[in-house]
Amino acid sequence: MNWILKKISNSKFGNNINKFIEKKFPSKLEQANSKYISCHGLPIDKNNLKKNYMVCPDCNFHHYLSPTSRYNMWFGQNNWLEIKSAEPSPDPYQWKDTKKYIDRLKDAKKNTGQDNAILSCEAKINNIDVVVSAVDFKFIGGSISMAEGENVLAAVQRAIEKKVPYIFVSASGGMRMMTNILSLMQMTRMTIAINELKAAGLFFGVVVTSPTTGGLSASIVSLSDICWAESGAVYAFAGRRIVQAQTPGELPENFQTVEWARDKSGQIDLVLDRKDIYPTIGKILSILLKKNSVVISSIENETSEDSQSLTKAAS
Protein backbone atom coordinates (compact mmCIF):
# COMPACT_ATOMS: atom_id res chain seq x y z
CA MET A 1 0.00 0.00 0.00
CA ASN A 2 1.43 3.42 -0.96
CA TRP A 3 1.59 6.38 1.39
CA ILE A 4 -1.57 8.01 -0.03
CA LEU A 5 -3.69 4.93 0.70
CA LYS A 6 -2.15 4.69 4.20
CA LYS A 7 -2.95 8.33 4.80
CA ILE A 8 -6.54 7.86 3.69
CA SER A 9 -7.10 4.72 5.74
CA ASN A 10 -5.28 5.65 8.97
CA SER A 11 -5.85 9.35 9.64
CA LYS A 12 -8.42 12.02 10.36
CA PHE A 13 -7.37 13.61 7.07
CA GLY A 14 -8.27 10.37 5.34
CA ASN A 15 -11.66 10.23 7.04
CA ASN A 16 -12.43 13.74 5.79
CA ILE A 17 -11.52 12.69 2.24
CA ASN A 18 -13.75 9.65 2.48
CA LYS A 19 -16.66 11.76 3.72
CA PHE A 20 -16.16 14.14 0.81
CA ILE A 21 -16.07 11.28 -1.70
CA GLU A 22 -19.22 9.75 -0.20
CA LYS A 23 -21.05 13.07 -0.29
CA LYS A 24 -23.81 12.94 -2.84
CA PHE A 25 -23.80 15.77 -5.35
CA PRO A 26 -27.01 16.61 -7.23
CA SER A 27 -27.32 15.03 -10.66
CA LYS A 28 -28.12 17.07 -13.78
CA LEU A 29 -31.69 15.86 -13.57
CA GLU A 30 -31.98 16.90 -9.93
CA GLN A 31 -30.54 20.32 -10.76
CA ALA A 32 -33.02 20.70 -13.63
CA ASN A 33 -35.94 19.77 -11.37
CA SER A 34 -34.84 22.01 -8.51
CA LYS A 35 -36.87 25.15 -7.71
CA TYR A 36 -33.64 27.11 -7.36
CA ILE A 37 -30.60 28.09 -9.41
CA SER A 38 -27.43 29.92 -8.40
CA CYS A 39 -25.26 32.41 -10.29
CA HIS A 40 -23.61 34.53 -7.57
CA GLY A 41 -23.29 32.09 -4.68
CA LEU A 42 -26.85 32.43 -3.45
CA PRO A 43 -29.98 30.50 -4.50
CA ILE A 44 -32.46 32.26 -6.79
CA ASP A 45 -36.04 31.09 -7.25
CA LYS A 46 -36.46 29.98 -10.89
CA ASN A 47 -40.01 31.39 -10.97
CA ASN A 48 -38.65 34.85 -10.16
CA LEU A 49 -36.03 34.43 -12.89
CA LYS A 50 -38.68 33.52 -15.45
CA LYS A 51 -40.59 36.70 -14.64
CA ASN A 52 -37.38 38.63 -15.37
CA TYR A 53 -36.62 36.89 -18.72
CA MET A 54 -34.19 34.47 -16.99
CA VAL A 55 -31.92 37.36 -15.93
CA CYS A 56 -30.76 37.48 -12.30
CA PRO A 57 -32.16 40.63 -10.62
CA ASP A 58 -29.20 40.73 -8.21
CA CYS A 59 -26.12 40.28 -10.44
CA ASN A 60 -27.66 40.68 -13.93
CA PHE A 61 -26.34 37.29 -15.05
CA HIS A 62 -28.15 36.16 -18.21
CA HIS A 63 -29.16 32.53 -17.77
CA TYR A 64 -29.88 30.04 -20.54
CA LEU A 65 -33.00 30.72 -22.58
CA SER A 66 -34.28 28.19 -25.10
CA PRO A 67 -35.27 29.30 -28.63
CA THR A 68 -38.92 28.49 -27.89
CA SER A 69 -38.88 30.61 -24.71
CA ARG A 70 -37.15 33.47 -26.57
CA TYR A 71 -39.73 33.39 -29.36
CA ASN A 72 -42.59 33.36 -26.86
CA MET A 73 -40.97 36.27 -25.03
CA TRP A 74 -40.45 38.26 -28.25
CA PHE A 75 -43.56 37.42 -30.26
CA GLY A 76 -46.00 35.83 -27.81
CA GLN A 77 -47.20 32.24 -27.89
CA ASN A 78 -48.76 31.10 -31.16
CA ASN A 79 -47.54 34.28 -32.90
CA TRP A 80 -44.67 32.60 -34.71
CA LEU A 81 -44.58 29.84 -37.31
CA GLU A 82 -41.80 27.24 -37.30
CA ILE A 83 -39.83 26.69 -40.51
CA LYS A 84 -39.12 23.03 -41.10
CA SER A 85 -36.07 21.81 -43.03
CA ALA A 86 -34.66 18.62 -44.55
CA GLU A 87 -33.17 16.02 -42.19
CA PRO A 88 -29.95 14.54 -43.69
CA SER A 89 -28.44 11.21 -42.63
CA PRO A 90 -27.96 11.69 -38.88
CA ASP A 91 -24.84 9.55 -38.30
CA PRO A 92 -22.84 9.06 -41.53
CA TYR A 93 -19.64 8.04 -39.69
CA GLN A 94 -21.38 5.84 -37.11
CA TRP A 95 -19.46 7.75 -34.46
CA LYS A 96 -18.91 6.38 -30.99
CA ASP A 97 -16.84 7.69 -28.09
CA THR A 98 -18.05 7.18 -24.52
CA LYS A 99 -21.51 6.98 -26.05
CA LYS A 100 -22.96 6.40 -29.50
CA TYR A 101 -23.57 9.65 -31.37
CA ILE A 102 -26.97 8.42 -32.52
CA ASP A 103 -27.93 8.02 -28.85
CA ARG A 104 -26.68 11.54 -28.07
CA LEU A 105 -28.94 12.84 -30.84
CA LYS A 106 -31.95 10.99 -29.44
CA ASP A 107 -31.31 12.43 -25.96
CA ALA A 108 -30.84 15.96 -27.32
CA LYS A 109 -34.09 15.79 -29.28
CA LYS A 110 -35.95 14.51 -26.24
CA ASN A 111 -34.47 17.11 -23.86
CA THR A 112 -34.99 20.14 -26.11
CA GLY A 113 -38.07 19.14 -28.10
CA GLN A 114 -36.27 20.16 -31.29
CA ASP A 115 -35.25 18.18 -34.38
CA ASN A 116 -31.80 19.81 -34.38
CA ALA A 117 -29.89 22.56 -32.59
CA ILE A 118 -31.51 25.39 -34.59
CA LEU A 119 -35.13 26.47 -34.46
CA SER A 120 -36.25 28.86 -37.23
CA CYS A 121 -39.50 30.71 -37.58
CA GLU A 122 -41.51 33.41 -39.35
CA ALA A 123 -42.79 36.21 -37.14
CA LYS A 124 -43.25 39.97 -36.85
CA ILE A 125 -41.14 42.56 -35.03
CA ASN A 126 -42.82 45.97 -34.74
CA ASN A 127 -45.33 44.71 -37.30
CA ILE A 128 -42.44 44.03 -39.71
CA ASP A 129 -42.25 40.53 -41.20
CA VAL A 130 -38.99 38.75 -40.31
CA VAL A 131 -37.40 35.32 -40.39
CA VAL A 132 -35.50 34.33 -37.23
CA SER A 133 -33.19 31.42 -36.38
CA ALA A 134 -32.00 30.65 -32.85
CA VAL A 135 -29.50 28.07 -31.61
CA ASP A 136 -30.24 25.91 -28.57
CA PHE A 137 -27.02 25.39 -26.60
CA LYS A 138 -28.57 22.41 -24.78
CA PHE A 139 -28.66 20.51 -28.08
CA ILE A 140 -25.13 19.00 -27.96
CA GLY A 141 -23.60 22.32 -27.03
CA GLY A 142 -25.34 24.15 -29.86
CA SER A 143 -22.91 22.49 -32.25
CA ILE A 144 -23.55 22.76 -35.99
CA SER A 145 -23.87 19.80 -38.32
CA MET A 146 -25.72 18.98 -41.56
CA ALA A 147 -29.25 19.29 -40.14
CA GLU A 148 -28.43 22.71 -38.65
CA GLY A 149 -26.92 23.85 -41.96
CA GLU A 150 -30.07 22.76 -43.79
CA ASN A 151 -32.20 24.66 -41.29
CA VAL A 152 -30.27 27.90 -41.83
CA LEU A 153 -30.47 27.48 -45.61
CA ALA A 154 -34.23 26.91 -45.42
CA ALA A 155 -34.67 30.00 -43.23
CA VAL A 156 -32.55 32.21 -45.52
CA GLN A 157 -34.42 30.92 -48.56
CA ARG A 158 -37.73 31.83 -46.89
CA ALA A 159 -36.41 35.33 -46.11
CA ILE A 160 -35.35 35.80 -49.74
CA GLU A 161 -38.69 34.54 -51.06
CA LYS A 162 -40.65 36.85 -48.75
CA LYS A 163 -38.12 39.72 -49.14
CA VAL A 164 -37.82 40.21 -45.37
CA PRO A 165 -34.95 40.69 -42.87
CA TYR A 166 -33.20 37.66 -41.37
CA ILE A 167 -32.18 37.60 -37.69
CA PHE A 168 -29.83 34.94 -36.27
CA VAL A 169 -29.54 34.32 -32.50
CA SER A 170 -26.28 32.48 -31.77
CA ALA A 171 -25.21 30.22 -28.89
CA SER A 172 -22.74 27.51 -29.86
CA GLY A 173 -19.61 25.59 -29.01
CA GLY A 174 -18.75 25.41 -32.72
CA MET A 175 -18.98 22.74 -35.37
CA ARG A 176 -19.90 19.16 -34.39
CA MET A 177 -16.90 16.82 -34.22
CA MET A 178 -19.02 13.69 -34.59
CA THR A 179 -19.73 14.55 -38.22
CA ASN A 180 -16.22 15.73 -39.02
CA ILE A 181 -15.67 17.47 -42.39
CA LEU A 182 -19.41 17.36 -43.14
CA SER A 183 -19.87 19.66 -40.15
CA LEU A 184 -17.09 22.05 -41.22
CA MET A 185 -18.67 22.31 -44.68
CA GLN A 186 -21.66 24.04 -43.09
CA MET A 187 -19.52 27.14 -42.43
CA THR A 188 -19.15 27.60 -46.20
CA ARG A 189 -22.77 26.70 -46.98
CA MET A 190 -24.15 29.17 -44.40
CA THR A 191 -21.75 31.89 -45.61
CA ILE A 192 -22.91 31.43 -49.22
CA ALA A 193 -26.53 31.61 -48.06
CA ILE A 194 -25.93 34.92 -46.27
CA ASN A 195 -24.14 36.29 -49.35
CA GLU A 196 -27.25 35.41 -51.39
CA LEU A 197 -29.41 37.20 -48.81
CA LYS A 198 -27.28 40.33 -49.07
CA ALA A 199 -27.20 40.12 -52.88
CA ALA A 200 -31.00 40.33 -52.69
CA GLY A 201 -30.62 43.58 -50.73
CA LEU A 202 -31.99 42.15 -47.50
CA PHE A 203 -30.94 42.94 -43.93
CA PHE A 204 -29.02 40.39 -41.84
CA GLY A 205 -28.78 40.90 -38.07
CA VAL A 206 -27.15 38.76 -35.38
CA VAL A 207 -27.85 38.54 -31.65
CA VAL A 208 -24.88 37.05 -29.78
CA THR A 209 -25.83 35.11 -26.64
CA SER A 210 -23.58 33.10 -24.34
CA PRO A 211 -21.55 31.26 -25.37
CA THR A 212 -20.85 31.97 -29.05
CA THR A 213 -17.58 30.30 -30.06
CA GLY A 214 -15.74 28.25 -32.67
CA GLY A 215 -16.90 27.86 -36.26
CA LEU A 216 -20.16 29.72 -35.75
CA SER A 217 -18.37 32.88 -34.60
CA ALA A 218 -15.95 32.47 -37.53
CA SER A 219 -18.67 32.18 -40.18
CA ILE A 220 -22.28 33.37 -40.12
CA VAL A 221 -22.02 35.50 -36.95
CA SER A 222 -19.20 37.65 -38.34
CA LEU A 223 -21.20 38.52 -41.50
CA SER A 224 -23.96 40.55 -39.85
CA ASP A 225 -24.98 44.04 -40.94
CA ILE A 226 -25.60 44.86 -37.29
CA CYS A 227 -24.49 42.69 -34.36
CA TRP A 228 -26.26 43.00 -31.03
CA ALA A 229 -25.22 41.03 -27.94
CA GLU A 230 -26.62 40.06 -24.55
CA SER A 231 -24.79 41.58 -21.61
CA GLY A 232 -21.91 39.46 -20.29
CA ALA A 233 -22.04 36.87 -23.10
CA VAL A 234 -18.92 34.86 -23.97
CA TYR A 235 -17.78 35.57 -27.54
CA ALA A 236 -14.66 33.86 -28.90
CA PHE A 237 -13.13 31.52 -31.44
CA ALA A 238 -10.49 29.44 -29.62
CA GLY A 239 -10.58 28.70 -25.89
CA ARG A 240 -9.02 31.16 -23.46
CA ARG A 241 -6.28 28.71 -22.40
CA ILE A 242 -5.27 28.17 -26.03
CA VAL A 243 -5.04 31.92 -26.64
CA GLN A 244 -3.15 32.45 -23.37
CA ALA A 245 -0.56 29.81 -24.37
CA GLN A 246 0.23 31.83 -27.50
CA THR A 247 0.11 35.27 -25.87
CA PRO A 248 2.87 36.91 -23.79
CA GLY A 249 1.55 38.38 -20.56
CA GLU A 250 -1.81 37.96 -18.90
CA LEU A 251 -5.01 38.34 -20.88
CA PRO A 252 -7.52 40.97 -19.67
CA GLU A 253 -10.08 39.69 -17.18
CA ASN A 254 -12.96 40.52 -19.53
CA PHE A 255 -11.23 38.99 -22.56
CA GLN A 256 -13.61 37.02 -24.81
CA THR A 257 -16.69 38.84 -23.57
CA VAL A 258 -19.00 40.81 -25.84
CA GLU A 259 -18.06 43.98 -23.95
CA TRP A 260 -14.38 43.43 -24.81
CA ALA A 261 -15.23 42.65 -28.46
CA ARG A 262 -17.30 45.84 -28.66
CA ASP A 263 -14.61 48.06 -27.16
CA LYS A 264 -11.46 46.50 -28.65
CA SER A 265 -12.30 44.77 -31.93
CA GLY A 266 -15.49 46.41 -33.13
CA GLN A 267 -17.07 43.03 -33.85
CA ILE A 268 -20.04 43.82 -31.61
CA ASP A 269 -22.07 46.95 -32.32
CA LEU A 270 -24.28 47.11 -29.23
CA VAL A 271 -24.40 45.25 -25.89
CA LEU A 272 -27.83 45.20 -24.28
CA ASP A 273 -29.76 43.57 -21.47
CA ARG A 274 -32.01 40.79 -22.72
CA LYS A 275 -35.23 42.78 -22.22
CA ASP A 276 -33.92 45.60 -24.43
CA ILE A 277 -32.91 43.55 -27.48
CA TYR A 278 -36.34 42.99 -29.04
CA PRO A 279 -37.46 46.67 -28.90
CA THR A 280 -34.04 47.81 -30.17
CA ILE A 281 -34.22 45.47 -33.18
CA GLY A 282 -37.73 46.77 -33.85
CA LYS A 283 -36.62 50.40 -33.83
CA ILE A 284 -33.65 49.76 -36.11
CA LEU A 285 -35.72 47.76 -38.61
CA SER A 286 -38.35 50.50 -38.63
CA ILE A 287 -35.69 53.07 -39.53
CA LEU A 288 -33.87 50.95 -42.11
CA LEU A 289 -37.06 49.80 -43.85
CA LYS A 290 -38.83 53.15 -43.38
CA LYS A 291 -41.79 51.48 -41.72
CA ASN A 292 -43.82 52.22 -38.59
CA SER A 293 -44.22 56.00 -38.82
CA VAL A 294 -44.74 56.34 -35.05
CA VAL A 295 -41.23 55.04 -34.32
CA ILE A 296 -39.63 57.08 -37.11
CA SER A 297 -41.31 60.37 -36.09
CA SER A 298 -40.35 59.76 -32.44
CA ILE A 299 -36.68 59.28 -33.38
CA GLU A 300 -36.77 62.30 -35.71
CA ASN A 301 -38.11 64.41 -32.82
CA GLU A 302 -35.33 63.16 -30.54
CA THR A 303 -32.73 63.95 -33.21
CA SER A 304 -34.23 67.43 -33.73
CA GLU A 305 -34.16 68.17 -29.99
CA ASP A 306 -30.54 67.00 -29.73
CA SER A 307 -29.62 69.19 -32.69
CA GLN A 308 -31.27 72.25 -31.11
CA SER A 309 -29.46 71.60 -27.83
CA LEU A 310 -26.12 71.39 -29.64
CA THR A 311 -26.84 74.62 -31.53
CA LYS A 312 -27.67 76.47 -28.28
CA ALA A 313 -24.53 75.08 -26.63
CA ALA A 314 -22.37 76.13 -29.59
CA SER A 315 -23.80 79.68 -29.59
Mean residue pLDDT of the chain comes to 87
Q: Residues near 50 by Cβ (< 8 Å), separated by ≥ 6? A: none
- Enumerate the domain spans of the chain: 1-27, 35-64, 65-291
**pLDDT confidence tier of residue 22, bands split at 50, 70 and 90:** low
pLDDT at 60: 87
State the architecture of 65-291 in CATH terms: Alpha-Beta Complex (3.90)
pLDDT at 208: 98
Between residues 196 and 29, which one has the greater pLDDT?
196
pLDDT in tens, 54-98: 999 888 889 999 999 999 999 999 899 999 999 999 999 999 999
196, 239 in Cβ contact below 8 A?
A: no
**pLDDT confidence tier of residue 268, bands split at 50, 70 and 90:** very high
pLDDT in tens, 105-148: 999 999 999 999 999 999 999 999 999 999 999 999 999 999 99
Between residues 240 and 210, which one has the greater pLDDT?
210
Q: What is the 3-state secondary structure (H, E, C) of the chain?
A: CCHHHHHHHHCHHHHHHHHHHHCCCCCHHHHHHCCEEECCCCEEEHHHHHHCCCECCCCCCECCCCHHHHHHHHHCCCCCEEECCCCCCCCCCCCECCCEHHHHHHHHHHHHCCCCCEEEEEEEECCEEEEEEEECCCCHHHCECHHHHHHHHHHHHHHHHHCCCEEEEEEECCECHHHHHHHHHHHHHHHHHHHHHHHCCCCEEEEEEEEECHHHHCCHHHHCCEEEEECCCEECCCCHHHHHHCCCCCCCCCCCEHHHHHHHHCCCCEEECHHHHHHHHHHHHHHHCCCCHHHHHHHHHHHHHHHHHHHHHHC
pLDDT at 44: 86
Find the angle CA(189)-CA(194)-CA(196) to the nearest 5 degrees.
95
Per this entry, what is the length of the chain?
315
pLDDT at 310: 47
pLDDT at 207: 98
Query: pTM of the predicted model, to two decimals?
Result: 0.83
**pLDDT of 156 over the 90 cut:** yes
For 313, phi then psi, to 5°, come to -65, -35
